[in-house]
């Protein structure tokens, strides 16, 4: 979803801005992680606190050296009946953090896993990413960045429980032990955690704790069912779109067909006549556009009201992007000089005995999560409450505050479970949250005093942006008969995601957006000249699952395979040779996939071929060995074997699900109709009838194998996507004898 960001690269000004967006009250403390005073005082009046009800109590008890993110009282509640509820500092939208993070904490707490539950946090400063200091779910960073944090939280809570038991029994805490939610004394006495929670909450939080050795883990590393599986499989799971408040109205918005256009004329008489419609409002939208919001008692009445609007749009002065013209523009740019990411000597290219000249085209892609965008806003005296599934809790809170003319600490954001997102809920400009707040503000100004839930339809979601940018790659490669690359001249053209945003300062260097080039060249030791162009167009773009790697991996892995075929080398052996001794994790992941698939040892059925690809993204390496055929002129994927190196596997079952889910998105990229196109500025697709995603009939057999490791875990939400499409394409190329250049696949006749 998000680019791989090094928090140490954040400029001080940006760090301060992100700290402010986290909701810190500057009148209380200079520490951006300190809790707002108003919340702390409110919490002091709450009685019957179990261990860890609120971070603000922890602030009063813990040593000053501890940050809010390090205080167990923000994250652990233990009820008298022993139920342990772990607060998750991220958005859960299918990636499994609502189980993985509690597993990590419960391991060090020595909890009884059968009694562990989880809940999502808020925009409270305690729930920022401990590495970045901002509320963030993205970049496959959740487990990676919070692994040590949640271990220490669990260990601190365990130490407090031991101290409480020691006081009750008047013994040395060092003589006590814990097991499955119980404190054990040498003489056989036991105390359940639920019996000790209240006393433990009143004790000091230890500033340092000793963590378990990995060999002693009994929860981490075990294939574990998800804590939310029961609710989801039975239809009881509450998502953001399910928010229902007393007196709530639902809003839908008529948006302009061209990005940035405004209302020219409006006749809303028919809309106001629809039963249940309460208001029709002209409201500002993202990127300077204007729309018309219809508020009604429910979604269907609001939609009927919107359908009844008579609207004309003013598109003057707004660029109308056309996909065919855009491709011609990109081709012209690719031939021009520009900023360079790599700048190797290209002199050997002219005399190279073997050459490849290739062009790749990647279209815009919609995120298209199953739950469309939504946000519920309740304006209150002195503040606002938001209910929304967001990847940027703090950034969205700050944006809401700006729209409503209040302070960030006056915004209470309830993080709701989301039905997917893939980067769309990490909007740099908080577009869908700002829109919802603008509607609520406009409604209040007309005398409508009610919570407002703004809901996007599927068509709104697919036509309304933001998209994975369209990219064009052009490569000229010279190599010898042994497959040694002598020169690789490469041009990349595509919009920048971060230009004009708060991330520009550290993502763009020498005019090149790092989100566009990640995944180029490495791990292969090729002499490359990489020229990058970032045209500006009137199409909103954003990170899409695995960001730059979803196109760079395809380019690199299909071209590496093409060199292997041209020099009559086995594609696995050729990659292993290129890895050398430097890339042990790549070698291990690929070898595992090869061994488990039977590649090179098992004869495939007639008409099938092997395909191979391996790629690192978000610090995790995923290798695929696939089997494919061509039926009725269309490529078919039959079997996928994955080798995954993500270091320590916290929950192997979740890793398997994430790799499978990411691979299905990668497969969707390959299928006919998997593209967003524009004609005269208008998006031509509107729903799954004309924007293809993989369905059950497209799903291959799938086996996921994890390389054993005790090293701290790396990301897993996105790395399964990039190598799927090139592995599939490489199998197709072996069947047809012709390389696949475009995604979705456009097989040559």
pLDDT digit string (tens) for 621-649? 999 999 999 988 899 999 999 999 999 99
344 and 381: one domain? no
State yes or no: pLDDT of 43 exceeds 60. Answer: no
User: What integer pLDDT is reported at residue 747 of this predicted model?
Assistant: 76
Instruction: Give the list of residues 6+ apart from residue 18 with CB closer than 8 angstroms, or none.
Output: 10, 132, 133, 134, 394, 395, 502
- The total number of structural domains in the chain stands at 3
Of 640, 539, 492, 530, nearest in space to 259 by CA: 539
Domain-located, residue 378:
yes
- Strands of 25-115 (E only): list them: 76-78, 84-88
User: What integer pLDDT is reported at residue 58 of this predicted model?
Assistant: 37
The first and second tokens of residue 71, run together, are 């205080």
Q: Of the residues 455, 483, 507, which one is the last residue of a structural domain? A: 455
User: What integer pLDDT is reported at residue 1 of this predicted model?
Assistant: 54
Domain-located, residue 323:
no
Residue 502: give its domain's CATH number: 3.30.365.10
The first and second tokens of residue 732, run together, are 């197709």
Instruction: Work out the number of other CB atoms within 10 angstroms of the CB of residue 216.
Output: 9
Taking only the tens place, the pLDDT of each residue in 414-447 is: 999 999 999 999 999 999 999 999 999 999 999 9
Dihedral sign computed on CA atoms, order 147, 150, 156, 162:
negative
State yes or no: pLDDT of 703 exceeds 60. Answer: yes
- Strands of 129-184 (E only): list them: 177-179, 182-184
Write out the residue range of the structural domain in which residue 497 sits: 337-365+467-736
Taking only the tens place, the pLDDT of each residue in 335-384 is: 999 999 999 999 999 999 999 999 999 999 999 999 999 999 999 999 99
Which range is least confidently modeled, 1-10, 723-732, 739-748? 1-10
State yes or no: pLDDT of 102 exceeds 80. Answer: yes
User: What integer pLDDT is reported at residue 748 of this predicted model?
Assistant: 62
Which range is least confidently modeled, 23-27, 193-197, 622-626? 23-27
- Beta-bridge mates of residue 617: 620
User: What integer pLDDT is reported at residue 87 of this predicted model?
Assistant: 98
User: What integer pLDDT is reported at residue 341 of this predicted model?
Assistant: 97
Domain-located, residue 741:
no
User: What integer pLDDT is reported at residue 281 of this predicted model?
Assistant: 98
Q: How confident is the model at residue 2 (pLDDT cuts 50, 70, 90)?
A: low
DSSP 336-403: S---EEEE---GGGTT-SEEEEEEEEE-BEE---SS--EEEEEEETTEEEEEE--S-HHHHHHHHHHH
207 and 263: one domain? no
User: What integer pLDDT is reported at residue 633 of this predicted model?
Assistant: 87
288 and 395: one domain? yes
Domain-located, residue 385:
yes
Domain-located, residue 679:
yes
269: helix, strand or coil:
helix
CA distance 272 to 295: 10
User: What integer pLDDT is reported at residue 648 of this predicted model?
Assistant: 98
Q: Are 253 and 293 in contact (CB under 8 A)?
A: yes
Q: Are 538 and 320 in contact (CB under 8 A)?
A: yes
Domain-located, residue 328:
no
The first and second tokens of residue 21, run together, are 């967006």
388 and 444: one domain? yes
CA distance 531 to 545: 24
Q: Are 205 and 73 in contact (CB under 8 A)?
A: yes
659 and 547: one domain? yes
Instruction: Give the list of residues 6+ apart from residue 129 with CB closer than 8 angstroms, or none.
Output: 89, 135, 136, 141, 145, 146
State yes or no: pLDDT of 37 exceeds 50. Answer: no
Instruction: Give the list of residues 6+ apart from residue 123 with CB closer than 8 angstroms, or none.
Output: 22, 23, 135, 393, 394, 396, 397, 411, 412, 413, 415
User: What integer pLDDT is reported at residue 7 of this predicted model?
Assistant: 53
638 and 494: one domain? yes
Give me the chain's average pLDDT, please.
92
User: What integer pLDDT is reported at residue 21 of this predicted model?
Assistant: 41
User: What integer pLDDT is reported at residue 129 of this predicted model?
Assistant: 97
The rounded percent of the chain whose pLDDT value lies above 70 is: 91
User: What integer pLDDT is reported at residue 506 of this predicted model?
Assistant: 85
11 and 73: one domain? yes
CA distance 674 to 503: 29
Taking only the tens place, the pLDDT of each residue in 314-342 is: 999 999 999 999 999 999 999 999 999 99
380 and 342: one domain? no
352 and 384: one domain? no
State yes or no: pLDDT of 224 exceeds 50. Answer: yes
pLDDT, mean of residues 290-299: 98
User: What integer pLDDT is reported at residue 564 of this predicted model?
Assistant: 98
Domain-located, residue 287:
yes
Q: Of the residues 411, 429, 455, which one is the last residue of a structural domain? A: 455
Domain-located, residue 233:
no
118 and 223: one domain? yes
Q: How confident is the model at residue 615 (pLDDT cuts 50, 70, 90)?
A: very high
343 and 438: one domain? no
State yes or no: pLDDT of 42 exceeds 80. Answer: no
């Amino acid at each position: 979803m998000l680019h791989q960001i090094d928090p140490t690269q954040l400029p001080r000004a940006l760090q301060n801005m992100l700290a402010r967006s986290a909701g810190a009250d500057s009148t209380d403390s200079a520490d951006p992680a300190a809790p707002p005073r108003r919340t702390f005082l409110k919490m002091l009046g709450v009685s019957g606190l179990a261990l860890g009800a609120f971070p603000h109590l922890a602030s009063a008890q813990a040593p000053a050296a501890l940050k809010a993110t390090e205080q167990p009282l923000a994250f652990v509640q233990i009820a008298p009946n022993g139920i342990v509820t772990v607060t998750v500092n991220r958005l859960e939208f299918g990636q499994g953090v609502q189980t993985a993070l509690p597993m990590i904490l419960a391991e060090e707490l020595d909890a009884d896993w059968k009694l562990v539950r989880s809940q999502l946090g808020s925009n409270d400063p305690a729930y920022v990413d401990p590495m970045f200091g901002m509320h963030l779910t993205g970049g496959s960073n959740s487990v990676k960045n919070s692994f040590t944090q949640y271990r220490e939280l669990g260990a601190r809570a365990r130490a407090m429980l031991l101290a409480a038991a020691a006081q009750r029994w008047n013994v040395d805490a060092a003589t006590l032990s814990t097991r499955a939610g119980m404190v054990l004394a040498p003489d056989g006495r036991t105390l359940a955690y639920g019996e000790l929670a209240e006393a433990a909450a009143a004790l000091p939080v230890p500033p340092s704790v000793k963590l378990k050795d990995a060999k002693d883990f009994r929860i981490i590393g075990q294939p574990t069912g998800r804590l939310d599986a029961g609710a989801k499989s039975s239809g009881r799971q509450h998502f953001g779109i399910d928010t229902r408040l007393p007196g709530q109205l639902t809003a839908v918005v008529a948006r302009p067909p061209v990005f940035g256009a405004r209302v020219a004329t409006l006749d809303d008489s028919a809309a106001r006549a629809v039963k249940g419609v309460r208001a029709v409002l002209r409201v500002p939208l993202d990127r300077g556009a204007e729309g018309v919001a219809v508020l009604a008692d429910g979604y269907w009445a609001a939609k009927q009201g919107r359908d009844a609007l008579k609207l004309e749009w003013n598109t003057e002065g707004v660029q109308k992007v056309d996909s065919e013209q855009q491709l011609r523009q990109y081709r012209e740019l690719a031939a021009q000089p520009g900023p360079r990411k790599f700048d190797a000597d290209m002199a050997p290219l002219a005399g190279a005995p073997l050459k490849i000249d290739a062009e790749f085209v990647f279209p815009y892609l919609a995120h298209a999560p199953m739950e469309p965008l939504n946000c519920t806003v309740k304006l209150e005296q002195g503040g606002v409450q938001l209910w929304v599934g967001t990847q940027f809790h703090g950034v969205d809170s700050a944006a809401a505050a700006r729209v409503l003319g209040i302070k960030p600490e006056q915004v209470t954001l309830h993080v709701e479970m989301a039905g997917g997102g893939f980067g769309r809920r990490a909007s740099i400009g908080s577009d869908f949250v700002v829109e919802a707040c603008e509607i609520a503000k406009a409604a209040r100004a007309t005398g409508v005093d009610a919570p407002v839930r703004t809901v996007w339809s599927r068509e709104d979601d697919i036509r309304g942006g933001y998209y994975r940018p369209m990219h064009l790659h052009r490569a000229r490669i010279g190599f010898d008969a042994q497959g040694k690359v002598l020169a690789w001249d490469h041009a990349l053209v595509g919009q920048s995601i971060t230009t004009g945003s708060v991330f520009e300062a550290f993502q763009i260097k020498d005019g090149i957006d790092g989100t566009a080039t990640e995944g180029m060249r490495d791990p292969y030791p090729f002499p490359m000249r990489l020229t990058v162009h970032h045209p500006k167009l009137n199409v909103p773009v954003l990170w899409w699952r695995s960001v730059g790697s979803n196109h760079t991996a395809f380019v690199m892995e299909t071209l590496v395979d093409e060199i292997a075929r041209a020099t009559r080398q086995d594609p696995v052996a050729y990659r292993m040779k290129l890895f050398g001794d430097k890339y042990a994790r790549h070698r291990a992941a690929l070898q595992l996939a090869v061994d488990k698939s039977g590649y090179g040892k098992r004869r495939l059925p007639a008409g099938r071929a092997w395909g191979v690809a391996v790629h690192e993204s978000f610090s995790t390496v995923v290798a695929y060995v696939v089997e494919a055929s061509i039926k009725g002129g269309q490529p078919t994927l039959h079997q996928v074997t994955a080798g995954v190196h993500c270091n320590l596997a916290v929950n192997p079952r979740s890793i398997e699900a994430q790799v499978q889910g990411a691979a299905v998105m990668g497969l969707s990229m390959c299928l006919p109709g998997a593209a967003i196109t524009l004609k005269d500025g208008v998006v031509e697709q509107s729903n799954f009838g004309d924007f293809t995603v993989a369905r059950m009939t497209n799903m291959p057999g799938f086996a996921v194998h994890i390389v054993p490791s005790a090293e701290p875990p790396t990301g897993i939400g996105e790395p399964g996507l990039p190598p799927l499409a090139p592995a599939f394409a490489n199998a197709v190329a072996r069947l047809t004898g012709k390389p696949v250049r475009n995604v979705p696949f456009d097989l040559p006749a």
